[in-house]
């Protein structure tokens, strides 16, 4: 199925469900059945099966996301917009529904709405490369509209045509090196492999078809607040499960002895995760140093308020860290791991990197990124 190309810029990237969200073991067969119907081109049957599943599990984010993709592929744009909008309301920590919403708005030439949706996706996950690229395309379209308007108002302005031509050349199929081609068929969601006793798979990096698009970025829920002090000890196993806690936990930045910087920084990471799982906002926020740069253009005050709201809105949070490696050099350290996040029935897996700095006897986070 092909889609008309937006004037001036190439098509935005629409995400498919399989790579965007993590499938649960219990319902992997249902997701797989619907995905197989989509790949076979049996979209009405796929939509019917998705609706049947949702009658008993109406809040399931994965199936609702897949339903939105099917609605979009069958030309039911209004229904797809409604589906993705409700997903952003029920699961604001997921950036993919915002991205797909932006693609649909852009297809209707509602570029201001598309820009707003993409800014929300990036605010939710600052490392979301697809949303950044799509936002650049939307800005290019808005610029094109503004230049055209300028020419209408003043056709003698010699400075505008070269700028407009540059944008058109940039997004032309035969233009600048490496540009995306014209519209192509949007690939159907790939059926996920059922997850057995193994941990849920890490979300892969972008893999896209060039059209209203299919991409697979890592998904990350926005962190949550935290409880009171507790000494954190790194787990001996490769993975550490942090279940919801009722006891107070220590701030994620307390160093043990200073004799082993890597171990001390690792302990700080575990304490940060425990504070998050325990919904201890005070200890969670204390894990971040004064030099921490909040995502997007948010101020530190606004970021902390948003984190406080997100964490307190969850009745239960579980954080699992896997394959944690910490490299320390002097007063700086870098921690890399896979994070499995569960809260109120939502499960998301992502790769994460934390940059830490030692302030006095405490290791604190100064940068947080996902998908790296």
Architecture in CATH of 17-170: Alpha Horseshoe (1.25)
pLDDT number for residue 185 = 28
Is 299 buried (19+), middle (13-18) or exposed (0-12) by CB count in 10 A? Answer: exposed
Q: Domain extents for the chain?
A: 17-170, 239-370
User: What separation, in Å, do the N-terminal and C-terminal C-alpha atoms of the chain show?
Assistant: 33
The class that CATH gives domain 239-370 is alpha beta
Regions in the chain scoring below 70 on pLDDT: 1-28, 170-258, 296, 345, 371-372
pLDDT number for residue 158 = 86
pLDDT number for residue 250 = 44
- Structure tokens, 34: 């619907």
pLDDT number for residue 170 = 67
How many Cα atoms within 13 Å fall on the side-chain side of residue 303?
Answer: 20
- Structure tokens, 119: 């800014």
Query: CA-CA distance, 89 to 86, in Å (whole number)?
Result: 5
How many Cα atoms within 13 Å fall on the side-chain side of residue 105?
Answer: 23
pLDDT number for residue 264 = 93
Query: CA-CA distance, 191 to 97, in Å (whole number)?
Result: 19
pLDDT number for residue 172 = 59
Question: Closest Cα partner for 277 from 237, 323, 239, 320?
Answer: 320
Strand partners, 326: 335
Strand partners, 356: 333, 365
Q: For residue 142, give every residue at least 6 positions away whose Cβ sits within 8 Å of its Cβ, in sequence order, or none.
A: 111, 112, 115
Query: CA-CA distance, 273 to 176, in Å (whole number)?
Result: 45
């Amino acid at each position: 199925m092909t889609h008309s190309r937006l004037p001036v810029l190439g098509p935005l990237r629409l995400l498919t469900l399989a790579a965007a969200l993590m499938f649960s073991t219990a319902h992997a067969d249902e997701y797989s059945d619907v995905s197989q119907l989509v790949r076979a081109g049996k979209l009405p049957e796929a939509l019917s099966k998705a609706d049947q599943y949702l009658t008993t599990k109406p809040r399931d984010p994965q199936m609702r996301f897949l339903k939105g993709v099917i609605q979009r592929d069958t030309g039911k744009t209004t229904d797809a917009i409604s589906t993705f909008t409700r997903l952003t309301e029920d699961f604001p920590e997921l950036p993919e529904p915002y991205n797909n919403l932006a693609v649909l708005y852009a297809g209707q030439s509602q570029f201001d709405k598309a820009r707003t949706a993409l800014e929300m996706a990036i605010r939710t996950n600052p490392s979301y490369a697809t949303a950044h690229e799509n936002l650049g395309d939307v800005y290019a379209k808005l610029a094109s509209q503004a230049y055209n308007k300028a020419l209408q108002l003043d056709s003698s302005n010699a400075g505008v045509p070269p700028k407009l031509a540059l944008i058109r050349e940039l997004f032309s199929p035969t233009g600048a090196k490496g540009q995306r081609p014209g519209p192509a068929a949007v690939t159907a969601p790939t059926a996920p492999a059922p997850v057995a006793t193994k941990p849920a798979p890490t979300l892969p990096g972008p893999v896209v078809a060039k059209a209203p698009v299919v991409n697979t970025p890592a998904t990350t829920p926005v962190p949550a607040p935290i409880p009171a002090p507790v000494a954190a000890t790194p787990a001996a196993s490769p993975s550490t499960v942090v279940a919801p806690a009722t006891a107070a936990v220590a701030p994620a930045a307390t160093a043990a002895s200073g004799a082993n910087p890597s171990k001390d920084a690792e302990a700080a990471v575990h304490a940060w995760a425990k504070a998050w799982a325990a919904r201890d906002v005070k200890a969670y926020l204390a894990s971040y140093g004064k030099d921490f740069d909040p995502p997007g253009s948010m101020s530190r005050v606004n970021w902390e308020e948003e984190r406080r709201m997100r964490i307190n809105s969850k009745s239960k949070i579980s954080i699992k860290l896997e394959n944690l490696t910490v490299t320390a050099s002097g007063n700086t350290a870098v921690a890399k791991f896979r994070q499995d996040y569960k809260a109120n029935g939502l499960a998301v897996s992502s790769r994460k990197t934390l940059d830490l700095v030692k302030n006095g006897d405490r290791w604190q986070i100064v940068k947080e990124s996902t998908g790296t």
